[in-house]
C-alpha cells in the first residue's frame, strides 16, 4: 500500500530511521525477515547533516514489531555516500577542554526557556542529540514521535580512561501524546570512538 509522504505514519517511520542511522552511522541491527509479525515501512528520504552542510539520499526499511513485549523497531538502510565522521577540530577542542577541567562539568536547562544555548554548551547538546537518537530508536512505536526537548541536567563523571562520561537527564517530547518524558542516560564519548549509551531509564514525570 502506497503511503502519502505527507501523512504521519510515513513521517514517524522516517524519524525512527533517521534516529537509527544517525546513532549508528554505518551499523544497524541485522535484517531478519519475520513476515506477519509487524508493520513494515519502505522509505526513501534525504538526510541532512546540518553541521557539515551535506545531504545524503537514504532508503530504509523500518519494521515495527507487534506484540505485548516492546522491542526496538528494526531498521535496515542504505545511504548514498560516506556517512562516517572523522573527528574535527571542534570535537578535539571540546575533548581537551573537558579533559582538563578541574571540577566535573555540571549544567542545567539547555536550551533555556528562551531557546538560548551558551556556545560552550553546544557540544554537550550535540552529544545529547546523538545519545537520544539511540533512545528514540529503541523506544519508538508507530504511535510515538520523539524529539529531544531540553537537557534538564548534565553532570560529568570523571574517568581514568580516555573516554568522557556524562550523566544526562533529558526531557523528551512525544508529539503524539504531547507528553514531556524525563529520561536518564549515561553517555560515553571519545572523538575517535564515537558515542555510546551505556545505561538509560525512563524517569517518573
Give contact residues for another protein (rule: CB under 8 A). Answer: 4, 6-8, 11, 111-116, 147-150, 171, 173, 175-180, 205
Burial 122-155 (b: 16+ CB within 10 A, else e): ebbbbbbbbbbbbbbbbbbbbebbbebebbbbbe
| Nearest to another protein of 68, 178 (CB atom) | 178
Peptide bond into 111 cis (omega under 30): yes
| Nearest to another protein of 31, 116 (CB atom) | 116
Interatomic CA distance for residues 135 and 197, integer angstroms: 8
Q: Tell the smallest beta-carbon distance from residue 104 to another protein (Å).
A: 25
Q: Tell the smallest beta-carbon distance from residue 148 to another protein (Å).
A: 8
Closest CA to 38 of 12, 71, 10, 84: 71
Those residues whose C-beta lies under 8 Å from the C-beta of residue 104, and which sit 6 or more positions away, are 155, 156, 157, 158
| Nearest to another protein of 159, 202 (CB atom) | 202
Q: Tell the smallest beta-carbon distance from residue 96 to another protein (Å).
A: 27
Q: What is the four-CA torsion angle of 29, 32, 35, 39, rounded to 10 degrees?
A: 10
Cβ pair 74, 31 in contact under 8 A: yes
| Nearest to another protein of 55, 96 (CB atom) | 55
Q: Tell the smallest beta-carbon distance from residue 133 to another protein (Å).
A: 12
Cβ pair 112, 149 in contact under 8 A: no
Q: Tell the smallest beta-carbon distance from residue 149 to another protein (Å).
A: 5
| Nearest to another protein of 9, 194 (CB atom) | 9
Q: Tell the smallest beta-carbon distance from residue 91 to another protein (Å).
A: 20
Q: 151 vs 12, 38, 112, 191, CA distance in Å?
A: 23, 33, 9, 21
| Nearest to another protein of 84, 115 (CB atom) | 115
Cβ pair 41, 10 in contact under 8 A: yes
Amino acid at each position: 500500500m502506497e503511503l502519502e509522504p505527507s501523512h504521519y505514519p510515513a513521517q514517524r517511520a522516517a524519524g525512527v530511521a533517521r534516529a537509527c542511522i544517525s546513532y549508528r552511522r554505518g551499523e544497524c541491527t541485522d535484517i531478519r525477515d519475520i513476515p506477519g509479525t509487524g508493520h513494515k515501512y519502505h522509505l526513501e528520504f534525504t538526510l541532512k547533516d546540518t553541521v557539515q552542510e551535506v545531504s545524503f539520499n537514504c532508503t530504509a526499511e523500518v519494521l515495527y514489531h507487534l506484540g505485548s513485549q516492546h522491542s526496538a523497531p528494526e531498521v535496515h538502510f542504505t545511504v548514498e555516500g560516506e556517512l562516517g565522521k572523522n573527528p574535527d577540530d571542534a570535537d578535539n577542542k571540546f575533548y581537551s577542554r573537558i579533559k582538563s577541567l578541574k571540577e566535573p562539568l555540571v549544567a542545567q536547562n539547555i536550551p533555556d526557556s528562551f531557546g538560548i544555548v551558551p556556545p560552550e554548551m553546544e557540544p554537550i547538546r550535540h552529544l545529547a542529540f546523538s545519545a537520544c537518537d539511540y533512545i528514540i530508536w529503541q523506544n519508538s512505536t508507530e504511535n510515538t514521535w520523539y524529539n529531544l526537548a531540553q537537557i534538564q541536567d548534565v553532570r560529568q563523571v570523571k574517568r581514568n580512561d580516555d573516554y568522557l562520561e556524562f550523566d544526562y537527564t533529558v526531557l523528551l517530547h512525544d508529539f503524539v501524546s504531547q507528553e514531556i518524558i524525563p529520561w536518564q542516560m549515561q553517555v560515553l564519548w571519545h572523538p575517535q570512538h564515537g558515542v555510546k549509551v551505556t545505561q538509560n531509564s525512563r524517569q517518573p514525570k
